[in-house]
Amino acid sequence: MGKLAINLDDETLAKAQEVAGSRNTTIDEMVEDFVKSVAQQSKADREKAVESLVESFKRLSRSIGPRTWTREDLYER
C-alpha cells in the first residue's frame, strides 16, 4: 500500500479532526474514502456529469441582449 502526505494549516487540521471524531472515523480514513471514490469514477460517469452541467447551463442561461459597453467604459476613472 502506498502512502500520501499532505500539509494542512493548524485550523484546518483541527476542524478535520472534529469532523472525523463526529463521524467516528479518522482523517486518514476520510481521505482514503474520498480518493477511492474519485478513482472509482469511470470516464463515462465523469463525461456524463460534465454533459449534464453543460446542458443545465444551456437550459438556464438567459440572453441579456447585445453588449453595448467596453471594458474601458466599466473601468473609466
Which pLDDT tens digit goes with each residue over 27-43?
A: 999 999 988 888 888 88
What are the residue boundaries of the structural domains of the chain, listed by start? 10-61
- pLDDT for res 61: 84
- pLDDT for res 16: 93
- pLDDT for res 25: 96
**Residue 14 Cα to chain centre, angstroms:** 21
Residue 9 is given by DSSP the state -
Burial class (CB in 10 A: 0-12, 13-18, 19+), 55: exposed
CA–CA gap between residue 14 and residue 12 (Å, rounded): 5
Q: Note the pLDDT tens digit of each residue in 7-66.
A: 889 999 999 999 999 999 999 999 999 888 888 888 888 888 889 989 998 888 888 888
Q: Is residue 20 a contact partner of residue 26, using CB atoms and an 8 Å limit? A: yes
